[in-house]
Amino acid sequence: MPHEVKPGFVQLVGAGPGAADLLTLRALRAIEGAQALLYDALISEEVLALAPQGCLKIQTGKRAGRVSMKQETINRLMLRLARRGLKVVRLKGGDPSVFGRVGEEADFLNAHGIATAVVPGVTAACAAAAQFNFPLTHRRQARRVVFTTARLEAGALQADWSSAADPETTLAIYMGGGAAEELSQRLIEAGRAASTPALAVESAGTPRARLRRGTVGELARLVEDGEGGPVLLVIGEVAALADVREIGDTLDAARALSA
């Protein structure tokens, strides 16, 4: 009788914002032990280099607003590799539970008898706050944080923005660059003051990070002349506390302290 292959398993791993030294130890170990690695377009070469030499690497191309592998195809590919008995790592930028479709992928795999595990990662909003020295919450200024996306359907911005009117809420808006002008209008219509401090952070948590500071009324200006990296918008009083020192200085200081 042919030897029956024991099914492998899939780890849904957060790669953080890009820098390898922001990976969790658990994520590092998962990557180093991977036999098959399915990774998103924003994963850095520095992180991919941590995979073993014989690891099968497949770029899934998942990136907002751009042509990418269909989710159904990714699901089927993970299933096929796991059924071959491989240790599969599905590597996602940031944290897989924050706009990473981790629930869909885990449900699909579990329904087909494949065990899964989620490994958290540093999400872009936390990376931006650390890199530019501002808090996401702050006593007497920001009592809560809302993570949301600037989701476009048929060219129009979706979602109910009424909750954004609360002046003590920090809004972290992922993938917001392309909808900045409409976001500005929606937020003001919902009751958020046009003078509310705002930040546009491109490629947060990496040496290429770029910060522009202004107000809700100036969101469209803040995203001008970008370099193509993912853009996070931060809205709220805490945005006024951002430190605009040179990126290299803040990263070098953090790395020196952790060495």
Does the pLDDT of residue 1 top 80, yes or no?
no
71-83 vs 102-111: helix crossing angle, rounded to 10: 40
Superfamily of domain 124-241: Tetrapyrrole methylase, C-terminal domain (3.30.950.10)
User: Has domain 9-119 been given CATH number 3.40.1010.10?
Assistant: yes
Per-residue confidence at 98, pLDDT binned at 50, 70, 90? very high
Record the pTM.
0.86
Given 62, 70, 160, 225, the catalytic residue: 62
Per-residue confidence at 227, pLDDT binned at 50, 70, 90? confident
Given 6, 21, 40, 249, the catalytic residue: 40
Which residues have CB under 8 Å from 26's CB, separation 6+?
A: 119
User: Distance between CA 257 and CA 150 in Å, rounded?
Assistant: 36
**Torsional sign, CA 63, 179, 103, 45:** positive
Residues of the chain with CATH 3.40.1010.10: 9-119
* Active site (annotated) includes residue 70: no
* Active site (annotated) includes residue 252: no
- Read off the pLDDT of residues 179-197 as tens digits, 9 standing for 90 and up: 899 999 989 998 999 999 9
Greater confidence, 255 or 94? 94
Q: What is the pLDDT of residue 61?
A: 80
- Read off the pLDDT of residues 63-80 as tens digits, 9 standing for 90 and up: 555 567 899 999 999 999
For 249-258, which contacts have Cβ atoms below 8 Å and span 24 or more sequence positions?
Answer: 250/131, 250/132, 250/133, 251/19, 251/131, 251/207, 254/130, 255/21, 258/21
Residues of the chain with CATH 3.30.950.10: 124-241
Looking at every residue in the chain, the average pLDDT score rounds to 88
Q: Per mean pLDDT, which range of 90-99, 129-138, 148-157, 238-247 is the poorest?
A: 148-157
Does the pLDDT of residue 155 top 60, yes or no?
no
